[in-house]
Structures are given as structure tokens and as C-alpha cells.
């Protein structure tokens, strides 16, 4: 067990956390990043990334995150492979305790713990992850140009994903286990009138099927929730859109969050309800949830942490 003392502690090592680390290190804050349960964040379970600026050719998600980590380390960031189990924001310096027993003591804190996609819980979902199964249409929809895909869900996220995919895909089937959608009426109207989208009501996904060469998704096995009858829908992509859960368990009783648990920040800022604590990336963004927007707020958080330290006279060595 050891104490790690820093001007800026960053929880999370996705694009928000790594970008914050790069900027904080350049400002001589000697940041420490605690990588968390999923080092590198959600991009580490993504295959090709085509929409992150600066790469002419697609880059694999894990490679992109490795490059960010190496860049941050080269600037002077220290990465700790630990998972925070408790966090005290009642006084400064803030104290976080890791699963290792180590304590992390910091004058400022950047929360970049992200949000986790909700999944159906099928083994086949894991098997075909990145080979036809996705939770992000704006990330992966481009790979399904001219192909038939399915979207699972019935809320705003599912309808928005289906409408987005109707651009590149040849046909989109929305699968919903009920006979009505929860999405806003305007979105429903657009969906139900779209010539490339159909809805299968009262269906539950029981299996995602795959095969071929190269191996990928070939269809979804569906069960009618009323009759129990099963059918296979041939598709090459399955997008799970049943929502995300922000990783905010550590701070829900200490910071202002919205009804879904996302950290509230001051508009145009990453400041939270506790001075000296900043939030970046998907943990405070229920709307865009993109690597590039997360990186942008990571930059903002580091610069705001520096200003906070300067204003409170804590920026010196």
C-alpha cells in the first residue's frame, strides 16, 4: 500500500482521460491516471475507427488508445493499473482509494470514467462483438453500406440509431419486444414513415447467429413474446440500442447528477458541483458519446483544472 500525491488525478483512461492527461502533463501538473476496470475505455472493444481525425486509413480502436497512452506517458503522465473503490470529495485534497489499497491524493480531480453500453446478456453477443455486433451506429454504421442490419430497442436511442443507419444500409429492421415505442413522437413519425425501415413488434432476440468467411453476423433468431414462435432474420449487422449506464457509482451521492446518473456540468464547461472536480467524456455526455467529443472535453477539463489551481494558489510545485 502506498500514497500517490498529484496536482491532478484522472480517473479513466479512454480518449477523455488520455487527452486530459496529455494537456495536464504539458502544464507540468504531473498527472496520475488510474486506468480502471477497462483500460483504454470503450474503444478497446471497437475494431476499425474511421472517424477520429488525423488518420487517413482506419485505425484499430485498441491501437488508437495505445497511441494516446504512450503519448501521455511521453509527456510525463503516470498510469496506474488500479480500480478506485472509494472516493472522498468532501474536502481538498481529494482522496481516492484503489482496489490495491493504494491511496491517490489530489488537489484537482478529473472524472473520465465513461458510460457502459447496456447489452442483452447473450453469449453470442460477446462472440460476434466487433464482427457485426455494435452499440454505436455513428461509430460503425459506415461499415454496413448496402447491407441489411437490425437495431434492438424501442427508445429514443434505438430510433435515432435506426434513422442514422437508414443512410448507409440497404434496409433497417427495428426489433422491439413491445407493441409500441417509447421514443418521442416526432422520432416515431420519422421512423414509421421511412421507406428503408420496418419494425418487428413483440420480438425478443434469443440468439445472434454468425459464420462465413471472414466470419461475421449472418442473422438474429427472434422469439415472439406472445406465441413463442421463433424465426431467423437474415442481417449482417446488429446494433444494440437499449441505452448506456454512466459509470458514476462512486460520486452519485457527492456530485449533482441527472435522472439517468450522468454528471451535470456547468454549460460550456467541465466544472461539476464540487469546486476542483471536473467531468469529461461520456460520463457527462448522454448525447454525442463519441471519442472525438470525449477528447475535446478532456482537453477542457485539464485546462480548467490548471486555472483552478492557479486561482487557488496551488499550481506551484
Catalytic residues: 136, 139-140
The residue behind cell 459509470 is: 247
Task: Report the distance separating Cα 151 and Cα 138, nearest Å.
Answer: 13
Count other C-beta atoms under 10 Å from residue 80's C-beta.
19
List, in sequence order, every beta strand (DSSP E) within the chain: 3-11, 32-34, 48-49, 59-60, 78-80, 84-88, 94-98, 103-111, 115-117, 133-134, 148-152, 171-175, 197-200, 203-211, 216-224, 230-234, 237-240, 244-246, 277-279
DSSP string for 153-179: --SHHHHHHHHHHTTTSSEEEEE-SSS
Alpha-helix residue ranges (DSSP H) falling in 235-290: none
Look at residues 265, 238, 225 and name the one whose alpha carbon lies nearest to residue 148.
238
20 and 6 in contact (C-beta within 8 Å)? no
Short-list 120, 115, 187, CA closest to 153: 120
Amino acid at each position: 500500500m502506498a500514497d500517490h500525491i498529484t496536482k491532478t488525478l484522472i480517473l479513466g483512461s479512454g480518449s477523455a482521460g488520455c487527452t486530459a492527461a496529455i494537456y495536464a502533463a504539458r502544464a507540468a501538473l504531473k498527472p496520475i491516471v488510474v486506468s480502471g476496470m477497462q483500460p483504454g475505455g470503450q474503444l478497446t472493444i471497437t475494431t476499425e475507427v474511421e472517424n477520429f481525425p488525423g488518420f487517413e486509413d482506419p485505425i484499430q480502436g485498441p491501437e488508437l488508445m495505445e497511441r494516446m497512452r504512450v503519448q501521455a506517458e511521453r509527456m510525463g503522465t503516470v498510469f496506474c493499473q488500479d480500480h478506485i473503490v472509494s472516493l472522498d470529495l468532501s474536502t481538498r485534497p481529494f482522496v481516492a482509494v484503489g482496489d490495491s489499497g493504494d491511496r491517490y491524493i489530489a488537489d484537482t480531480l478529473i472524472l473520465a470514467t465513461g458510460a457502459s453500453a447496456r447489452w442483452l446478456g447473450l453469449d453470442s453477443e460477446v462472440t460476434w462483438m466487433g464482427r457485426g455486433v455494435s452499440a454505436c451506429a455513428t461509430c460503425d454504421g459506415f461499415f454496413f453500406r448496402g447491407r441489411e442490419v437490425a437495431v434492438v430497442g424501442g427508445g429514443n436511442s434505438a430510433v435515432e440509431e435506426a434513422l442514422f443507419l437508414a443512410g448507409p444500409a440497404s434496409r433497417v429492421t427495428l426489433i422491439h419486444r413491445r407493441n409500441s415505442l417509447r421514443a418521442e413522437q416526432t422520432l416515431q413519425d420519422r421512423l414509421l414513415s421511412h421507406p428503408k425501415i420496418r419494425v418487428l413488434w413483440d420480438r425478443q432476440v434469443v440468439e445472434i447467429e454468425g459464420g462465413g468467411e471472414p466470419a461475421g453476423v449472418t442473422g438474429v433468431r427472434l422469439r415472439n413474446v406472445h406465441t413463442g414462435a421463433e424465426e431467423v432474420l437474415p442481417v449482417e449487422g446488429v446494433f444494440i440500442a437499449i441505452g448506456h449506464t454512466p459509470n458514476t457509482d462512486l460520486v452519485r451521492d457527492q456530485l449533482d447528477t441527472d435522472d439517468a446518473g450522468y454528471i451535470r456540468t456547468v454549460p460550456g464547461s467541465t466544472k461539476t458541483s464540487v469546486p476542483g472536480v471536473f467531468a469529461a467524456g461520456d460520463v457527462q455526455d448522454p448525447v454525442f458519446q463519441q471519442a472525438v467529443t470525449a477528447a475535446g472535453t478532456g482537453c477542457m477539463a485539464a485546462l480548467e483544472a490548471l486555472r483552478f489551481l492557479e486561482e487557488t494558489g496551488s499550481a506551484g510545485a
